[in-house]
Every structure is written in C-alpha cells, then in structure tokens.
Amino acid sequence: MLLCAWTGAHAQQLPVYLDDSKPVEQRIEDALSRMTLDEKIAVIHAQSKFSAPGVKRLGFPDLWTTDGPHGIRPDVLWDEWEQAGQTNDSCVAFPALTCLAASWNPAMARLYGESLGEEALYRGKHVLLGPGVNINRTPLNGRNFEYMGEDPFLASQMVAPYVQGVQSNGVASCVKHYALNNDEENRFNVNVVVSDRALHEIYLPAFKAAVQQGGAWAIMGSYNLYKNEHCCHNATLLNKILKHDWQFDGVVVSDWGGTHDTEQAIKNGLDMEFGSWTNGLTEGASNAYDSYHLALPYKKLIQQGKYSVKELDDKVRRVLRLYYRTTMKKNKPVGFLCSESHYDAALRIAEEGIVLLKNERGLLPLKQGKRILVVGENAIKMMTVGGGSSSLKAQKEILPLDAFAAQCSTDYARGYVGDTVQSYNGVKVGRSLYDMRTPSELIAEAVEKAKQADYVVFFGGLNKSDYQDSEGHDRKDYALPYGQNAVIEAILKVNPRLVFVNISGNAVEMPWASKVPAIVQGWFIGSESGEALVNVLLGKVNPSGKLPFSWYKQLADCGAHALGTYPGTWRSGVRIIDEEYKEGVFVGYRWLEKQNIKPLFAFGHGLSYTTFAMNCQAWRDMGNGQYQFDVKVKNTGKCAGAEVVQLYIADKECSVERPKKELKAFAKVFLQPGESKVVTLTIGREALSFYDEAVHDWRAEAGTFEALIGNASDNISDKITFKLKD
C-alpha cells in the first residue's frame, strides 16, 4: 500500500492524492485518474451488510456505515443480520428524535450530534445513517419517532446543528429518507402524488437545511416512489433538486434494498448502493454483492458501449470526496464510547424534551414522602430494544419503576400485558415480561392498590413492536393498545390523583383526557429514560418541552385521514399504490386551523411548573424584507424554568391560499424566578415567501403580514401588523 511508503523524509514525493497540502478536489482528480474500471465499480456498492470497499492499492481504507440515529447499532455479521456477538459494541442510547425536536433547542441538537459522532468514531464507523427528517403527516406512521415532527421550519432548525455536530468528528451524517417517506406500510410500493408547492414548502425544507446549512456529506434515498420513480434513483429529486438546485456535493446512498433498476441508478443520481439481502437481485447467488445494480450489471453496460464512464466518474468523485472527509481525514479525535459526558448529554436532552401536557390542580410535581403506585407495562419495559434499524444494544437503560424505587416509597401493579417478547435481534429486554393473569385480574390488582396510594403514575402508551412505533409497518388505529383505556377508567373511579405518562413517538387517542388531571409526554428517551422522567415528575427538573406535532383528538381530525388519502389506492394490475397528498401544504396545525378544529394539544404546546409573561416591546423594519422583533420574557413564578418564544407569520394578502399562520422563528430562554430577558427574533424575505408553481421558485408578494408571537400555536399573546413593499 502506498499510504505507508511515502512518509517522513520522502514526504515531498507523495502522490498528489495522498498529499494533504494539496486542495481536496485536486487530490480527488488525481486518485480518480489512477483507478481502474474495476476499482471504480467496487467503491460505489457494498461489500457487506454495512461496508463498502476502499481502494486498497491506493491506500483508501474500507468505508463503514452504521445505523443511528439514536445510538450506534451493535455490529452484525459480515453478510447476515444476526449480531456478531461482540462484547464491546454496547452504546449510549440517546432520546428518539421526536424528543430532541420537542426540546426546541438547537444547542441540544448540536450536543446530540457531537456525542453521537464521538461514539461512532470510537467504534470505527465513518457514516452515521441519520438523522431522519421526514414530516409527520399522519400519527399512524410507525417511524415518526425517528423524525422531527410536522413543521418544516422546526425540523430545519434542529437538523442542521445535529449534522454539524456529527461531522465535527469526521463522521458523515447521512440524512434520511429523501423524500416523502411519510408512512411505512407498503413503503416499497407507494407512489406519492403531491403538488410542487407542498413538496417544496412542507416536505423538502429540512433536507435543504441539512445540505445548505448543516453541510451534510451524505443523503439516503427513500423506499417509496415519486413521479413513478423510486426515490433512490429519481431524476427530479436527486439530479434536479438535490444536486443541481441545492448544489449538494456529497454522496447519495440507497436505502438498504432501495435500488430497483440498473439504468435508472446510473442516470438518476444514485452514487452508492447498499442492500437488505444477500444481494440486490438474486438472493443466494455466490457473487452476492457483485450482482448489485451498480456492480457487474453496470460494468457490463460500460463494456458494451451503452454508457461511457462519465456518470461513473461523477459517482466516484463523490465517494472519494466522502473518503477524504472521513476515512482519509487526518488528525481526527479518538472518540468516546459510553462516557460520562454522553450519559449526561442523553439525560439533558431527555429532560428538555419531556412535555408537560396537562397539570390541573398543581398535581405535579409529586410531593415527596407520599405513597406512589406505579402502574403499567411501560414502567418495566426496555424501549431501546426493537423498532427496526434503530434498535440498540444499550450499555444501560434505567427503567421508570427502578428510578422511582430508588427515590420514593413505591408500589407497582402491571395493569395490562402487551408485548412479552424477550429479545430483538439478539438483544435481551432485561427483566421477564411474562404474565399469565387475565385482564380482569390485572385491573383488579391495580384498583385495589390504587385505593391505598396518594398518587397513581400510569406508564402507558405504545412500544417498539410491529404495528406500533416501529419500522416496516404503520399503526392500525389511533387508540391505545392492550386495553389500557379500561385500566385507566377503573383506577379513576377509586383514585382521581392519576398522572398518565405516555411513552411513545406518536400521539394517541385519549378519550379520558378531561378526567385525568396530569398528562406527560415521555417519548422514547434512551439510556437515562427513568431518571429523566422521575426527575420531572418529582420536580427536580422543570419541564420545558413543547410538542413538535399537533395532538389530534381523533384520527379524522388529521387532513390525510379526513380526505381519505391514506394509505392510498392500489393501481389495477400492478404493485403500485398511488397516495395523493390532497391536503397540500395544510399539514398538522395548518390543517386544523384551516378547518377550525381544536386539537387535544396544539403544536408548540407545553407547560411548566413556573409561569411566564411575554410581550413584544419593539419591532423594526430592517429593509430588504428583513424584520426584527424584541420580545421580553419574564419568569413570574417561583422556580427556575425555560420558555420557548414562538413567532408565526400570517400572510393577509396573497394570490394563493396560505395557512392562517406558519412558524418562522423561535428561541428558548432560561430564567430564574423574577428574571427577565429580551429575545430578538429576526426573519427575512424567505419567511414571507411561498413556492410559486407558475415560475418554479419562491415568491414574496407585497402586502400586509402579521407577526404572531406566543408560546404555542394556539396561545398567541402579541400580534404585529407590517407591510412588505415591492
């Protein structure tokens, strides 16, 4: 290998591609000129489940990818999904991305990315397959827990620092799933039919921010189709929008098994192919990875003269650029695995993302010294295990019941039995979940114990099983599973001091919400989950999370379901489902406000143990479509806390129908009791613009606008009217 031959006193003789004093683009061209056709073909497809070959002859090492986005996945065997059985591949499990988004704090996203990048670096991984930024279009999507909510601006502001944090360690962030992967059921067959305006205003902004603000080095295509082309080789999404319009200079990676056609893969923007099976074409073939679309089939088309090496060289340039950013990067930090700082980061992110949805009569925080009954399977069930590719082998996961027992006088009742599977992909779930009692016996136990308790804390919600919050399938309905509603109703009859903690990545139907005095959204929050939840419930931490999506009272309140467009319609005679996004740009709170539907809990909603006052003290027209708003926030309560100032824009005079308001700026501010701070929020012309389908570009029309300032989409305290001139 040349890498070791040209060192020390002979440094002046280094080939250009190894000389890090030369510009990277020059080094790429030099390396490209030295590669054979076989070497070029080799680097654009996998050689194992999670790796691609480098160029050994030229000193480029193998490239290793790893699933995230919430922790570094345990190693699997070279060519099988079974775990490799290693003892040094446990990790810190970080909160799911719904929790990160609920923090409404970009600083937490940067901390998250840096911490995760350090763990990947220590494990020898070069590409982290995450984060995910697909929009929460329906609460039934089994993979919503991996994404950042329903609002494109919030997701954009949270994804960029995450990507920057990961890549600060020399590990590439591969942002996924590009694009329109908004439900899991039949994900290989769904052809999304969506307007250009909705595509650009709702479904693409977070990907654009990851590329242009975050500087992402890799993008993963999605399984579904758009304009009848699979998104892993889609001319519009990849060639036109991503690589031409956004000037993306990184690598487009296929989702595992997402490549379906060799010639489309050649022409339509795919750079590296990875697969879910022994090979991508004929399962069980001896030349497994050589049979991929971008392997021997591609080489043969070049040799036959159907294609030149023009497209191939563009793909290889991008792969080499990725190598120079990762595997060939000198002076990288060492990285850390399961360090104290990473557990601290996981705890901080979890605590900031937990959302206090309801707190009547000041039931929370719980008073010390009282008898607490913990109810529910989710108090004893590991949530780092399962859910698909984000399943982890966490070094530890503190369960809610254990955290309560360490700090309080606590009793426990199972309440219901859900999923009793004891392992997933080789990782065991900890304590046994088997329980052979009938539902009536479980309810009777919970009711009897509730009579003796000062408080009942019910840990319910969803889990990581199929047809709940899990990759591969969507939820079958909006209701809580496993008969949880019956348990809750029975407990309320004997003890109204009930706190419901919903563990999930999605909203759920709560028919009893008006009768339960305190409701907490607890998410899937990783290694420190029990510690974070109990700290909030006991008041050691003041909750400051805000919902990153609207919480519908019923499924029919969601636009995708109200219009009957989910899950789409099968085409006659072919395995394609057309799913039309008839709601257009009216997703989430935009739809609710258009239809004058009141949600159970609004987008941006989240309570605190203290109180805040906010008002806009001044605003300024900075010229050229820029405006600044000075908002004074005061902690008027008795404990320290954090509030999120949210600024929405309403276009009052427009040639197209626009939402009543849209989030365009926010800031999280931390305050001691009695303390005040002035937060300045700045918006530009882009915040006033819509995507004009007639000219295929963004447009801000002159006219009257309103800036709406508050702490939730349904709680606006200030309205400022201003005009945009031509």
Output DSSP code: residue 185.
T
> What count of residues does the chain have?
726
Q: How far is CA 484 from CA 22, 458, 475, 720, 723, in A?
A: 63, 10, 16, 45, 52
Q: Which of 75, 89, 151, 255 is catalytic?
A: 255
Report the C-alpha gap between 461 and 377 in whole angstroms.
9
Number of Cβ within 10 Å of residue 477's Cβ equals 11
Q: Helix, strand, or coil here: 213?
A: coil
Report the C-alpha gap between 588 and 574 in whole angstroms.
32
Q: Report residue 392 CA to chain centroid gap.
A: 16
Q: How far is CA 342 from CA 103, 279, 283, 358, 363, in A?
A: 17, 36, 40, 31, 32
Question: Pick from 411, 516, 509, 390: which is nearest to 453 by CA?
Answer: 411
- Helix segments in 396-522, DSSP class H: 400-407, 439-451, 484-494
Report the C-alpha gap between 424 and 435 in whole angstroms.
19
Beta strands across the sheet bearing 498-503: 355-359, 518-521, 498-503, 455-461, 372-375, 410-413
Report the C-alpha gap between 162 and 157 in whole angstroms.
9
What's phi and psi for 342, nearest 5 deg? -75, -40
Report the C-alpha gap between 369 and 374 in whole angstroms.
15
Report the C-alpha gap between 684 and 661 in whole angstroms.
16
First and final C-alpha spacing in the chain: 62
Q: Is the peptide bond before 177 cis (omega within 30 degrees of 0)?
A: yes
Q: Helix, strand, or coil here: 534?
A: helix
Q: Helices 205-212 and 152-167 meet at what angle, rounded to 10?
A: 30
Q: Is the peptide bond before 161 cis (omega within 30 degrees of 0)?
A: no
Output DSSP code: residue 434.
-
Report the C-alpha gap between 82 and 76 in whole angstroms.
5
407, 374 Cβ separation under 8 angstroms? no
121, 167 Cβ separation under 8 angstroms? no
Question: Pick from 352, 321, 342, 324: which is nearest to 72 by CA?
Answer: 342
Which helix (H) or strand (E) covers residue 706, if one does? strand 703-712
Q: Is 245 in the active site?
A: no
Q: Helix, strand, or coil here: 396?
A: coil
Report the C-alpha gap between 525 and 100 in whole angstroms.
9
Report the C-alpha gap between 197 and 207 in whole angstroms.
15
Residue type, 560: A
Report the C-alpha gap between 602 and 489 in whole angstroms.
24
Contacts of 159 (CB under 8 A, 6+ apart): 109, 131, 133, 148, 175, 206, 209, 210, 214
Instruction: Supply 625's token pair.
Output: 């479509």
89, 123 Cβ separation under 8 angstroms? yes
Which helix (H) or strand (E) covers residue 111, if one does? helix 106-122
Residues with catalytic function = 255
